[in-house]
Structure 1
C-alpha cells in the first residue's frame, strides 16, 4: 500500500512539473519584448479606439507564440552546448531534462498550428511573422555563428515587431521609427553579446571567439548614440509634443548602461528591465507621458 501511494504521489507531481517545464521552455518572461508591437498603436494615437487595441493585442499574442516557437527550436539545437554551460544546464528545461524532445516537438507543432490559424485572422501580420520565423530558423541553423550578422538578426526581430504592429492597424511605419527602433535594438543586441563574452568567455557561444570587448563596446556606443539622435529627430519633426520625453529616453540609456557595467546585467535585456526598479519606472513614465501628450495633454 505504501509503495502504491508513493508511486501515485510521484505521478501526481510529475505532471505539473512537466507542464511548468514546457512553460519555461516558451520563456514567457521574454514576451516583454513583444510590447514593441504596440509602438505604432501608441504613436498613431489609436490607443483610444477599442478595435485598434484589440487588433494590436492580437498581433502581440501571435508574436508571443512565434517567439516561443523560435526559443524551442533554438534550445533543441543547443541542448548539448547548454548542458556544458554553467547556468543554462540548470535553467534550460531540455538541457536540465525536465522537458523531453517528444514533448518539445509536440509544443512546437502546437505553436505553429496556432500561428497558421492566426494567418486566417491577420494575414498581413502573419506575413511579417513568417519573415521573423525564417530569419530565426536561419539564425539557429548557422547564422548565429557569423559575427555582426548575428547581432543584426537579433535586432531585426524588434524592427519586425514594430512593422507587425503597424500592419495590424493598417498604418505605415515612419522612416524615423524604423531607424530609431533598429538602433535601439542593435544597442540591446550588442550589449547582450558583450555581457555573454565578459561573464562566460568564448566558450558559451562559438561566435564570441570572433569578438572582443572593445569592438562590441564601440558597436554599443554607436548604436545608443544613433537611437538617441534619431528618436530626438523623430519627435522634433513628427511629434513635437513629445520633446519632453527625450530626457526620459536619455536617462533610460544611461541607467541601462549602469546596470550593465556596475550590476552585471544586460545579458538578458528583459531581466535587466524587470529587476531594476529605476528602469521599470522610467519605461512606464515614458509610456504614460507619450500617451498623455498624444491624447492632447498639455
Structure 2
C-alpha cells in the first residue's frame, strides 16, 4: 500500500507519439496537409528551415486529427486509466503540436495538464526535461516514453515507464537494470512478416498480370525476348503499384480508421510507422524505375503516366464524382498499354476499348458496395468520396450498362478482320461473349445481395466460378488459334 500512496503523490508525465499512440502525429499531419492541398509541399521545407516547432505549429494550424480513431496502445492506456481512477495526477508531456495534444487529452479525459510544442519551442528531449523539472522538481515525477529522445528524461525521473521502446531505449533499459526500483515496461506487439506483405498489397499484384495480355493475344508470349521484357514490366509495375498503395494508405489514415476492415491495415493500426512507409515507398519507386530502364523508352513513359495519375487519384481525383471510377478503369487500361510498350508494339484498339468498359463496370461495383456498406451516419454522403447514399441505383444501372458495352466491343472484335488473321477458327471465340457477361453480371448480382468483397477485382481472382470461366475462355482462345 505504501508504494501505491507514493505513486499517487507523484505525477506521471506521459509522452504521446510512439508511447500513448502507435504513430507520429507530425508525419500524420504532413499527409493530412498534403491531402488538403498538395501545393503545401512547397511550404513544408520553408517551415522546416525555421525549426521543428514552427513546422509543427503551421501544420496543426491547418489540419485537425481525429483523436477518437488514433491507434492507442490498449494495455498502456488501461494502465493510465487505472492510475487516474486511483487519483494519480497524469500529465501529457509531448513534442506534438498543442492542438493535437489537446485533442487527445480532451478525448481521453484522464489528463490534468498538457505540455506540448508551441510555435517557438519544440518540447522534446532536454526541453521537455527542463519543463518537467521546473514544474515538479528533480526526482519529482515519473515518466513514460519510448524513444532515444526520452532517455535524458528517464535518467532524471523518479521512475521510468518504458512503452514500446526503440533500439536505443532497449539498450538503455538493459543497462539500467529495470525492475529494481519498480519501473514498468509495456512491450510493443511484434511486427509480423505478413504485415509487410499487407503493406505491399501483394494480393493486388495479380492485377499487373494484365501486362502479359497484349503479348498473349498477339501470340508472341512464347518468344523468349518478348516474355523476358514483359516479365520485367510486371516486376516494375508491381513495385510501382505497391509504392502508390503505400502512399494512398498514408493519405487515407483517418478515413481507414473509420472503416471496419481498413482500420486493420498496417499504417492505420499503427503496426508499422508512417516514416517507414515513406522510406518503403521511395525504395519501391526506385526499383520500379531501375527495372524500367532496361525496357524501351515507351514503357518508361507509360509507367510515369501511371504514377502521375495514381498520385493525382490518391490526392484528389478519388473524391470527384464519376471521375474516380473513370480513372480506375483507365488505370487498368494503362497496364495493357504498359505490356504493349514493353515490347515497343502499339496497343490494340479493340483490347483497350474492351478494357475501358469492362473495368469501368468493376469500378462502379466497388463504389456500389461501399455505398451499401457505409455506416448510417454516412448515408447522406460517402466519406472521402463524391457520392450520396441514393446514388446507388444510378451507379448500378451504369455498371450493368458498361458490362454490356464490354460484351458489345468483344462481339465486334470477334467479327473483325483482325480475328480472322490471328485465329484459324474464329467461330470458337464467340462463347467468350456469354462468359464475360456471366462473370460481370454475377458480380453485380452478388453485390446487390451484399455478398461482394469491396474490391471486385480481388473477388474475381479468388472466386472459383469466375476463375473457371476465365480458364475456359483461355482454352477457347488457344484452341481457336491452333493451325
Under a length normalisation based on structure 2, what TM-score does the superposition of the two structures give?
0.56
Q: Displacement, 1:257? A: 2.4
Q: How many residues align?
A: 286
Specify every segment of 5 or more residues in structure 1 that has no aligned partner in the other structure, as ranges. 5-9
User: Do the aligned partners of 2:236 and 2:288 also contact (CA within 8 Å) in 1?
Assistant: yes
Greater strand fraction, Structure 1 or Structure 2: 2
User: Do the aligned partners of 2:321 and 2:385 also contact (CA within 8 Å) in 1?
Assistant: no
* CA–CA separation in structure 2 for the residues paired with 1:162 and 1:203: 31
Partner of 1:48, secondary structure, is coil
Equivalent residues in 2 for 1:95-244, closer than 5 Å: 95-122=268-295, 123-200=297-374, 201=379, 202-209=381-388, 212-237=391-416, 238-240=418-420, 241=426, 242-244=429-431
Greater helix fraction, Structure 1 or Structure 2: 1
Show CA shifts across 1:257-289 (max 9, x none): 233233521521233124421111111221232
User: Do the aligned partners of 2:362 and 2:457 also contact (CA within 8 Å) in 1?
Assistant: no
Q: Displacement, 1:175? A: 1.5
User: Do the aligned partners of 1:256 and 1:279 also contact (CA within 8 Å) in 2?
Assistant: no
C-alpha spacing 1:137/1:211, structure 2 compared with 1 (3 Å): farther
User: Do the aligned partners of 2:371 and 2:389 also contact (CA within 8 Å) in 1?
Assistant: no
Q: Displacement, 1:152? A: 0.9
User: Do the aligned partners of 1:62 and 1:115 also contact (CA within 8 Å) in 2?
Assistant: yes
Partner of 2:452, secondary structure, is coil
Match of 1:259 in 2: 446
How much is the aligned-residue C-alpha RMSD, in angstroms? 2.2
Say whether 1:271 aligns with 2:447.
no
Match of 2:241 among 57, 67, 74: 67
Larger Rg: 2
Runs of 4+ in structure 1 over 4 Å off:
none
Q: Displacement, 1:171? A: 1.8
Q: Displacement, 1:193? A: 0.5
Partner of 1:47, secondary structure, is coil
* CA–CA separation in structure 1 for the residues paired with 2:354 and 2:373: 29
Match of 2:267 among 71, 83, 94: 94
Match of 2:14 in 1: none
Q: Displacement, 1:234? A: 1.1
